Chain A
Amino acid sequence: NFVLTQPHSVSESPGKTVTISCTRSSGSIADNYVQWYQQRPAGVPTMVIYENNERPSGVPDRFSGSIDSSSNSASLTISGLTTEDEADYYCQSYDNSIPWVFGGGTKLTVL
């Protein structure tokens, strides 16, 4: 079993760029795809990145994803921040022992 660890919160100003990390505790981050979900207050989670760095249709290209094997982590980067980006963000991956694992979530504040 592995755990995905995210920072509890991050904040940045409108127009700036923010990066949220997601570190895998055991096994390689490259072994299985990582996804990212956005959940606005009182909203339903929606996928913003899948397969490490792919954007679903309708998600602006301000959102990008990557993985880094050296730190065994994945990252979600949001550029040109707006107040609409204020939300909780969750990373998610999987393996054979526990099929689906979510990170604890990161609260993004745009102020």
Chain B
Amino acid sequence: VQLVESGGDVVQPGRRLRLTCQASGFRITTSPMHWVRQAPGKGLEWVSLILRDGNNRNSADSVKGRFSIVRDIARNTLFLQMNSLRIDDTALYYCARDGAGGSLDLWGQGTLVTVSS
């Protein structure tokens, strides 16, 4: 059972990037799934959530309207589409599985996004 993120890169402000989270050992349709980020030297910040039905999603105000969370059921993969990137989006991005009581019981190793001119 694991999550593996990929897609992180160095990009200029205003550009777009898509992060991928490949799940194995469980189906992403059985749990809500999240993206969480951590800026260098900073704490954890929740980014976005997709519920089991795939239709209900929510995002933090800091990314609302710019980031969208989507999934590919056939590929058992979660994505984070990031548009209009800003310098303060620079962070390590983790995907995580929602467990009991609203916990995040499984995390990937993270993928690094650097936004710089």
Residues of A within 8 A of B (CB): 32-33, 35, 37, 39, 44-47, 50-52, 54, 56, 88, 90, 92-94, 98-105
Contacts and interface: CB of A to CB of B under 8 A. Distances in A.
Contacts of B94: 44-45
A44 B110 CA distance: 8
Most B-side CB within 10 Å, residue of A44, A103, A105: A44
Contacts, number: 69
Interface in B36-80: 36, 43-46, 49, 58, 60-61
A37 B36 CA distance: 13
Interface residues of B, number: 22
Interface in B82-116: 94, 99-105, 107-110
A51 B101 contact: yes
Would you list the 3 A-B pairs with minimal beta carbon distance, nearest first?
A51-B101, A33-B101, A50-B103
A32 B61 CA distance: 21
A23 B61 CA distance: 22
